[in-house]
């Protein structure tokens, strides 16, 4: 139980440093602490629900909220203020919070966060709060669940699911959570309890995690899968984005897993302040060195977690076995190596990993084959929401008609277009603002057939895109939805975008869709 350093429990920001330092356990006295929760999405509601359960005074500030969720705010004992968020509402000023907990969507320069900083009010994210409260339910030995952290520009969700699958196959209770869709606060309050939490972290969430001090987050193992410019509209600069991602390695206890093909992730590990005894474990698609995971003659190998790692390796699985499960695209194999390293770090045996991988399947909208007809493969990778993810997807196919576009989130698309132009048969641009892509193709692939979908009707975007792609595609080509952009300009999310693409493909092919492949087929 934490030692309490509490003055007046109803005090405002003046007591923030002292009192908050003492709040490092579910058993701490959170009563009367005034907390402003910014946002009422899934994360914001979980924060408000948790803190009211602990007896804190909670004011939720949001621009909009689902009707049912808004009604529940009062039921759980919190108060809701709905405002346009362009300025600090008087209700928040009068509330005088001791801490602000911001949902991930709030940019660092948001007026409410600037106001908090000017007043000296600490700003947390949901991960900071969840780590402090992780002992709500403990294991039989009295310890809370151990955390494994996963971040990266791309591949996070797949790697989280893989890691959780491998650990569960070893007989442990494990919950994939975080940015994958299940708030960590919900996971730590689950009455059945967990042995491990595999936590997907976005750069937004990492931005608010403290690297040192009382109660700092300390995972057993962590990984940054890769790094490419993304979310620059949120972080402001590539350096700020990298700094947020690097936080994943702070205070790691056993294994800092990094991508040997991405020097930025290795530099993060080299610069990280970790717990004594933590090791750097590399993964890559080449031959592994000692303390690495890699591939030798088609065999995925562990040269990190064995005694004689300088002269031998442990076989985990083979590329041919992964191909049978539709898991042999290069970027998926890299995710498998990273997940295997995380699982081995917590003691999962190689034979368990091999068996579990044989039954694993990718999420929907992740290089998912929709149909094969007339010698043309139609693939939904709607989850490729940035250029780095789209590049990995494009590289999996030799000749592509590329369906691309949406919200580019401030990133430069030129490098992707110039680097992948040689494998393109043509392109179909979607999105409300298509100008950046139009210009990129004009500069770097002026002879390439490029069509645009110009409609404000969401329901017609994909039927038009599919028709235009079919006019370009030839036998042996792949029509690939890999937008390299977020979806919210025309769709509710990447899932709707991918589902509408798949529906449009099937409707377009009609009777020809009988040649459709099983979902998750390996790329050609």
CA distance 498 to 501: 5
Q: CATH number for 13-124: choose from 3.30.360.10, 3.30.70.640, 3.40.50.720, 3.30.420.40.
A: 3.40.50.720
> Which has more pLDDT, 338 or 104?
338
Please report the pLDDT score of residue 338 as a whole number: 98
155 marked among binding-site residues: yes
**CA neighbor of 213 nearest in space, from 460, 18, 486:** 18
478 marked among binding-site residues: no
**CA neighbor of 152 nearest in space, from 228, 213, 87:** 228
Q: What is the helix (H) or strand (E) element at residue 124, kind and residue range?
A: strand 123-124
Distances (CA, A) of 330 to 23, 155, 523: 44, 12, 10
pTM as predicted: 0.77
CA distance 238 to 241: 5
- Residue 316 backbone class (left: φ over 0; alpha: ψ -120 to 50; beta: rest): alpha
Q: CATH number for 368-515: choose from 3.90.190.20, 1.10.10.60, 3.30.230.10, 3.30.470.10.
A: 3.90.190.20
Q: Examine the pLDDT at 496 and tell me if it is beyond 60.
A: yes
Q: What is the largest CA-CA distance in the chain?
A: 74
Q: What percent of the chain has pLDDT over 70?
A: 91
CATH tag, 130-359: 3.40.1190.10
158 marked among binding-site residues: yes
Residues 311-322 have pLDDT tens digits of 889 999 999 999
Q: Examine the pLDDT at 17 and tell me if it is beyond 60.
A: no
Residues of the chain with CATH 3.40.1190.10: 130-359
Handedness of CA 464, 465, 467, 472 (dihedral sign): positive
Handedness of CA 388, 390, 391, 393 (dihedral sign): positive
What are the φ and ψ backbone dihedral angles of 296, each rounded to 5 degrees? -130, 115
156 marked among binding-site residues: yes
Residues of the chain with CATH 3.90.190.20: 368-515
Residues of the chain with CATH 3.40.50.720: 13-124
Distances (CA, A) of 496 to 43, 491, 509: 21, 6, 20
Contact predicate 35/101, CB 8 Å: yes
Q: What is the DSSP letter of 41?
A: S
152 marked among binding-site residues: yes
> Which has more pLDDT, 58 or 209?
58
Please report how many Cα atoms fall inside a 13 Å half-sphere around the Cα of residue 504, on the Cβ side. 25
136 marked among binding-site residues: no
77 marked among binding-site residues: no
Three-class SS state of 36 = strand
**CA neighbor of 36 nearest in space, from 15, 60, 12:** 60
Please report the pLDDT score of residue 32 as a whole number: 95
Q: Output the six-digit token pair for 171.
A: 């007989």
Three-class SS state of 200 = strand
């Amino acid at each position: 139980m934490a030692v309490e350093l509490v003055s007046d429990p109803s005090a405002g920001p003046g007591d923030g440093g002292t009192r908050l330092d003492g709040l490092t356990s579910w058993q701490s006295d959170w009563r009367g602490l005034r907390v402003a929760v910014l946002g009422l999405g899934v994360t914001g509601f979980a924060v408000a629900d948790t803190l009211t359960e602990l007896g804190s005074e909670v004011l939720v500030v949001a621009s909009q909220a689902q009707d049912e969720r808004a009604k529940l705010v009062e039921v759980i004992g919190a108060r809701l203020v709905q405002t346009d968020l362009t300025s600090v509402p008087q209700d928040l000023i009068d509330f005088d919070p001791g801490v602000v907990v911001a949902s991930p969507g709030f940019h660092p320069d948001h007026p409410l966060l600037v106001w908090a900083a000017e007043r000296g009010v600490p700003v947390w994210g949901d991960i900071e709060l969840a780590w402090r409260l992780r002992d709500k339910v403990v294991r039989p030995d009295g310890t809370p669940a151990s955390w494994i952290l996963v971040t990266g520009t791309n591949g996070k969700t797949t790697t989280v699911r893989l890691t959780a699958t491998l650990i569960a196959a070893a007989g442990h209770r494990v919950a994939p959570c975080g940015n994958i869709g299940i708030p960590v606060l919900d996971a730590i309050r689950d009455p059945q309890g967990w042995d491990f939490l595999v936590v997907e972290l976005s750069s937004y969430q990492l931005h608010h995690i403290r690297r040192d001090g009382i109660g700092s987050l300390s995972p057993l193992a962590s990984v940054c899968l890769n790094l490419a410019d993304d979310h620059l509209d949120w972080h402001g600069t590539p350096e700020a984005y990298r700094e947020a991602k690097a936080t994943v390695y702070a205070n790691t206890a056993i294994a800092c897993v990094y991508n040997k093909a991405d020097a930025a992730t290795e530099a993060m590990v080299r610069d990280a302040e970790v717990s004594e005894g933590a090791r750097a474990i590399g993964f890559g698609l080449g031959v592994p060195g000692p303390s690495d995971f890699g591939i030798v003659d088609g065999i995925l190998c562990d040269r990190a977690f064995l005694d004689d790692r300088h002269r031998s390796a442990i076989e985990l699985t083979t590329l041919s076995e992964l191909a049978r499960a539709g898991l042999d695209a290069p970027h998926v194999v890299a995710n498998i190596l990273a997940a295997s390293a995380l699982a081995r770090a917590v003691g999962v045996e190689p034979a368990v990993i091999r068996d579990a991988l044989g039954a694993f399947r990718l999420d929907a909208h992740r290089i998912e084959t929709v149909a094969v007809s007339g010698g043309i493969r139609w693939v939904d990778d709607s989850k490729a929401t940035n250029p780095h993810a789209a590049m990995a997807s494009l590289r999996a196919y030799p000749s592509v008609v590329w369906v691309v576009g949406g919200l580019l989130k401030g990133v430069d698309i030129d490098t992707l277009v110039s680097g992948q132009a040689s494998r393109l048969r043509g392109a179909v641009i979607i999105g409300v603002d298509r100008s950046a892509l139009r210009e990129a193709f004009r500069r770097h692939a002026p002879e390439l057939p490029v069509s645009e979908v110009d409609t404000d009707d969401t329901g017609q975007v994909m039927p038009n895109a599919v028709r235009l792609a079919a006019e370009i595609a030839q036998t042996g080509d792949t029509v690939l939805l890999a937008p390299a952009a977020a979806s919210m300009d025309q769709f509710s999310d990447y899932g709707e975008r991918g589902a509408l693409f798949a529906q449009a493909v099937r409707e377009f092919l009609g009777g020809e869709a009988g040649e459709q492949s099983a979902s998750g087929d390996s790329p050609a």
